[in-house]
Amino acid sequence: MITPNPNLQVLPTKINLPKKELILEIELNGKMKFEHLMNTIYNQFGICHRVLSANVEYVEGRSFGSVQLYISANSEEYDELEYYLNNNKLLSTTVEYICRKYS
């Protein structure tokens, strides 16, 4: 008969990784609509974002231009988003955003 060890700790099923604040710049090349991209980032990846700037032009229903997003994501969420952007041939650059807090 096997008895459980009372000194063992149970690990949580989902580990809460620390989130980083990032500024993500995405170049739209006509392969995906701007609105579809924004919905995908929020609905599929669960990443809340703020549009810092957007220079988007629509040519025959296609989106061209660039957009800068402020996101707060952990490394796992960001890796999934980066894979998605690369897979859809959307060029992106990321800058870690560090806000100074004055006392």
Burial class (CB in 10 A: 0-12, 13-18, 19+), 39: exposed
- For residue 94, name the pLDDT band (cuts at 50, 70, 90): confident
Burial class (CB in 10 A: 0-12, 13-18, 19+), 94: middle
The answer for 73, left when phi > 0, alpha when psi is -120 to 50, beta otherwise, is beta
Give the pLDDT confidence of 38-80 residue by residue, as tens digits. 999 999 999 989 999 999 999 998 999 999 999 988 888 989 9
Q: What is the DSSP string of 29-51?
A: ESSS-HHHHHHHHHHTT---EEE
Both tokens of 20, joined, read 């980083």
**pTM surpassing 0.75?**
no
**Amino acid 35: pLDDT:** 92
User: Could you tell me the two tokens for 94?
Assistant: 């990321």
pLDDT in tens, 8-48: 665 555 556 678 888 889 999 888 899 999 999 999 999 98
pLDDT band at 91 (very low <50, low <70, confident <90, very high): confident
